[in-house]
Structure 1
Amino acid sequence: MLEVDIDITYRAGAPPARYAEEAKRVTYQTILFDQRGRVGWITLNRPEVLNAYNAEMCAELVDAFRKYQRDDGMRALVLTGAGRAFCAGGDVRSAKEAEEGATRQLGHGMVMREGMHAVNRALYALDKPVIALVNGPAVAGGLVLALLCDFRIAARSARLGDTSGRVGLLPDEGGAWVFPRVMGVDAALRMTLLNEVYGAARARELGLVTEVVADDDLHRRGAELAEELARRAPLAVRLAKRMVRRAQSLTFDQALGDAEFAVDIVNDSQDVQEGVRAFVEKRRPSFGGR
């Protein structure tokens, strides 16, 4: 059940009150989704199990990502976890998913496809920026979730790695694809086969983290970066992200072809006209997304 209400209170995992404007909230059962100005905040909200995902959380995340994608009023998104963790991966104690997987043809694969695979597909498909605030453990599927975001800011106390193999499981949420692309094949194999977990500083060296900050500064820094992204020209941001993502599987000539189509959209926009005027007038531009 979804409902919209108004909330300006501080909760664990949400940005401090001094950064919170009057916020529009869409209410779910396992996540929190608030809009503060032009920035959306999604907080995984199962702190009693370190925000491990279950079927309900997966469905709610897919819905929230789609709302963010469709709402031009939100220009950046912050993803974090309530309590002392970002996300501990899948909830292996979820009897509902285990029971469903055991009673369907290709059951376990279907659970993944309709669950965390749907989440990660929806996240990867976003053409607007997403910032992960890693406030604690981000392991296994939780690490994949963070790595599919465009920026990953970690608290110094955060820990990141792949623990799937410790219980005989696989990097099946997308880790086998994303880990080597972020940290290289050798490092990805080491982390996955030895089930290593790293502190924030080492994770930064390996490329798993974009930035490391003091624990108390995490939400402040996330809010700053999100606001900076929200001030940018939305058309240029969205098309640039699409171009970079697509270019990873294109030839150089194909990527230049992509650019030719994109400039036809952007170069005649009102935002470019505003940007040029602001440059000449030596002021900060005010982009309207047109």
Structure 2
Amino acid sequence: MFAETRFDTIACDAPAAGVARITLNRPQAMNAYTFQMCRELSAAIALFADDDDLKVLILTGAGERAFCTGGDISGADPEHSRHVATSPMGHGREMRDGMQAVVLALRRLDKPSLAVIRGYAVAGGLALALACDFRFAGETARLGDTSNKAGLLPDEGGAWLFPRAMGLDKALRMSLLHEIYDAERAERLGLVTEVFPDAELEAQALAFCGHLALKAPLAVRLTKMMMAKAMETSLEASLVDAQMAVMVTNPSEDVREGVAAFREKRAPRFKGR
């Protein structure tokens, strides 16, 4: 159902077994998001989350110029005008129900996600990439925060995500001076997981996600949930979460299969139960 669903501003497919891909599909606007795109992204992420046959999500942008350049401020988004005109609270509601909802949906996923970045990932586009678990960038990618340049804010989640990726001082410098970095510097700053030659980017992303898709689904999902929660809690609370999680994984068929495969010196065949 995920790959068969058709949208207007994004495209969904399954390029490999267990791998889902969402492509922001407004290359003529450098994949700047509109309210419609946000609604469609939220719907596609929900379809991925509900499909147990899909193990890993790739998020990318159409074309070579941009992953996403943030919100479309060209005036081409009629729903923006409708939202902000209906109430003094319109701007906040638009953010809450728009890109903020997408960022939250990605962060709440219990399955891994990978942003594949070509060209620019700036402002809300950078926040969208950082909402994913991993970021692979082509060597010509450019990442940064240009929100303040137009008097805007890192309101899609950037104020939370940027400092956690690169430290408060570097995040402030990036945002206040609206700096954009090449892929190698972005990797050094913590914004990118790994950089590849542009021609190899897609193959590297598919190989990585294909490898992840073969792992034990219960263990992958619970490990992600445990680590994400542990970033915001104490060691003691994290250890209690681990105690609860092993009551799901240790008695599972996958653990029995994994142990048997280890002893028999063969590749395990996990079923997610």
**Aligning the two structures, in what range does the TM-score lie when normalised by the shorter sequence?**
over 0.9
Aligned length: 269
1:123 corresponding residue in structure 2: 106
Q: Deviations over 1:187-233 (max 9, x none)?
A: 00000000000000000000000000000111100000100110000
1:270 corresponding residue in structure 2: 253
1:183 corresponding residue in structure 2: 166
Partners of 1:259 and 1:96 in 2: CA distance: 44
2:121 corresponding residue in structure 1: 138
Quick one: which of 128, 139, 155 aligns to 2:138?
A: 155
Quick one: which of 211, 214, 231 aligns to 2:194?
A: 211
Quick one: which of 59, 70, 87 aligns to 1:89?
A: 70
**Cα displacement (A) at 1:102:** 2.4
Preserved CA contact (<8 Å) 1:25 1:35? no
Preserved CA contact (<8 Å) 2:83 2:93? no
Structure 2 counterpart of 1:77, which letter? Answer: L
SS in 1 for 2:5: strand
**Cα displacement (A) at 1:96:** 3.0
SS in 2 for 1:276: helix
Quick one: which of 262, 265, 268 aligns to 1:282?
A: 265
Matched, 1:32 2:26: no
Partners of 2:83 and 2:129 in 1: CA distance: 27
SS in 1 for 2:261: helix
Q: Deviations over 1:21-57 (max 9, x none)?
A: xx94321100001123210011000000000000110
Quick one: which of 250, 256, 261 aligns to 2:244?
A: 261
Structural RMSD (CA): 1.1
**Cα displacement (A) at 1:283:** 1.1
Matched, 1:47 2:27: yes
1:197 corresponding residue in structure 2: 180
**Cα displacement (A) at 1:251:** 1.1
Preserved CA contact (<8 Å) 1:42 1:80? yes
**Cα displacement (A) at 1:97:** 0.2
1:57 corresponding residue in structure 2: 37
Structure 2 counterpart of 1:151, which letter? Answer: F
**Cα displacement (A) at 1:129:** 0.3
SS in 2 for 1:249: coil
Partners of 1:91 and 1:224 in 2: CA distance: 33
Using the size of structure 2 for normalisation, the TM-score is 0.96
**Cα displacement (A) at 1:98:** 2.8
1:225 corresponding residue in structure 2: 208
Partners of 1:216 and 1:24 in 2: CA distance: 25
SS in 1 for 2:176: helix
Partners of 2:194 and 2:82 in 1: CA distance: 40
**Cα displacement (A) at 1:88:** 0.4
Matched, 1:251 2:230: no
Structure 1 counterpart of 2:46, which letter? Answer: R
1:67 corresponding residue in structure 2: 47
Partners of 1:123 and 1:273 in 2: CA distance: 31
SS in 2 for 1:25: coil
**Structure 1, unpaired ranges of 5+:** 5-22
Partners of 2:3 and 2:232 in 1: CA distance: 38
Partners of 2:4 and 2:173 in 1: CA distance: 41
Partners of 1:196 and 1:44 in 2: CA distance: 24
Matched, 1:164 2:147: yes
**Cα displacement (A) at 1:99:** 3.8
